Amino acid sequence: MLDKREMQFLYEDDMGLVFMDNETYEQLHVPCDLFGDARKFLKDGTVCMVPVHEGNPVGVDLPLNIVLEITETEPGHKGDRVGR
């Protein structure tokens, strides 16, 4: 039986990603391999649904919308603009 818990992402350390249960304030380490490339989109404080089976996380459901800021981009080339 799976127990889906709403958890807040806190930080990443050597053991994986650390989430805090929003009801019990218990911290849970989630292995990085459950995320794959999706962990690039996690920010501190992101609230996710974490399915847990017998006390062990088995995955993570990211929120449908995540707001990120672009910090670096390649410069544009002449002719790459759309004119109106």
> What are the residue boundaries of the structural domains of the chain, listed by start?
3-57
| pLDDT tier at 47, thresholds 50, 70, 90 | very high
Buried b vs exposed e over 25-38: b needs ≥16 C-beta within 10 Å? eeebebeeebbeee
CATH superfamily of 3-57: Nucleic acid-binding proteins (2.40.50.140)
Question: By the 8 A CB rule, do 4 and 49 touch?
Answer: yes
Instruction: Please give the C-alpha separations between residue 59 and each of 17, 26, 27, 71, in angstroms, as whole numbers.
Output: 12, 17, 16, 29
What single-letter DSSP state applies at residue 82? P
Say if residue 84's pLDDT is above 70. Answer: no
Instruction: Please give the C-alpha separations between residue 75 and each of 51, 62, 68, in angstroms, as whole numbers.
Output: 42, 31, 20
Per-residue model confidence as pLDDT tens digits over 11-46:
998 888 999 999 999 998 888 888 778 888 888 899
Q: State mean pLDDT over 57-79.
A: 82
